[in-house]
A and B are shown apart, each in its own frame.
Chain A
Amino acid sequence: QKEVEQDPGPLSVPEGAIVSLNCTYSNSAFQYFMWYRQYSRKGPELLMYTYSSGNKEDGRFTAQVDKSSKYISLFIRDSQPSDSATYLCAMRTSYDKVIFGPGTSLSVIP
């Protein structure tokens, strides 16, 4: 079993839709959870950073962590064509080693 699992997609949605991206993990020592967006031929860009369980909102993005289920989600409201990218979940223990999921490719169709 991989440490971090993520549906690779591709996921295609119409503009304005709500997008739900998810990751599961197996290591209960993970405490910090991140979502990155990566455009083609670019480095990953940090979108959301959360600690422990709960929700965090930033504009159209909401990150949700459920440590009891070892499950994290990223919701994108009112999706835009500019949101088309690969979304990577990432997580780490308190010792600063970050593990990435395989990424989900998202296309938002105008």
Chain B
Amino acid sequence: GIQVEQSPPDLILQEGANSTLRCNFSDSVNNLQWFHQNPWGQLINLFYIPSGTKQNGRLSATTVATERYSLLYISSSQTTDSGVYFCAVGEYGNKLVFGAGTILRVKS
């Protein structure tokens, strides 16, 4: 099956700093999503981005499908950005395969 690797596994930032999270995947995909898991465990949809670039406020994402990677950019980080960020890709059918996540801690 498809493999999904996220890096870095852990990241500590000072409030106001920028960061880039990476997601590599091993095969062609028809779906790629970025999620933020909040402290209560809920997965919040950030981007649906099988290809191209999208922006939403301080967050943006780029997927280069031909090179099998996606990047999530967080600018001017805030303490509320802390949590776990997951990349998930769509395999055959409707299934999502999740990466192991990046744990982000933003310090004030």
Q: Do A and B come from one complex?
A: no
